[in-house]
Amino acid sequence: MSEHDARFWDRAAKKYAASPIDDEAGFERTLARTRVLMPPDARVLELGSGTGTAALRLADSVKSYVGTDISAGMIAIAQEKLETARQSGLSATLAFRQATADTLAREGVQYDVVLGFNYLHLAGSLPVVLAQIHSMLVPGGLFIAKTPCVGDMNLLIRLAIPVMRLVGKAPSVVTTCSSGSLVQAIGEAGFEILENERHGTKKSDYRPFIVARAI
């Protein structure tokens, strides 16, 4: 991810925060399954946490939770939501910070669970990002992802992305992978695939929910 993409998401932050969840039932299924998979004493890192919607729902079930995003604008909104939640009684150990997988990997801190929802297709080179994620997990730690697989989408959508990028309607990095190539890349990065499911309620939802163990 680049500074250009950080600025893109900064500009989009308020609209993104105000937009309704596209598939509420699919989102709830993902949250429920993720909550079951995370041990109560887990230290959790979420990459691409956006405005904190998932983090605020999941953090109370684990020991600690850090939500990160490349966009300062997204993190600012997430922080506002966190303060409101704390005033309403949220006691979870939750923090938000602006960061990328690259900067986090160089810090050398390891987690029990790393989450990436709607993240991997925007993170840059899959082999590089997956290697960074692997380095941030303790042995046997879990990587849980739900990622749009652009390579499985309609050809018109794939052709529209470069045009949208030219007019500033899409970030500079959008990785085009299929669900099959994504699973292969995760395996090649040193993970064992434990689950590969579809949580979406729409036929056009190309976001596999993947659970992988660092080996």
Q: Per-residue pLDDT tens for 129-183?
A: 999 999 999 999 999 999 999 888 887 777 778 777 777 777 888 888 999 999 9
The Cα 64–Cα 57 span in angstroms is: 13
Domains of the chain: 3-214 (3.40.50.150)
Reading the block at residue 117, the tokens are: 């929802």
What's the pTM value of the predicted model, to 2 decimals? Answer: 0.93
Please give the structure tokens belonging to residue 106.
């160089």
CA distances to 19, 121, 180, 202, 210 from 48, in Å:
17, 11, 22, 23, 16
C-alpha of 114 from chain center: 9
DSSP states of 38-55 as a string?
S-TT-EEEEES-TTSHHH
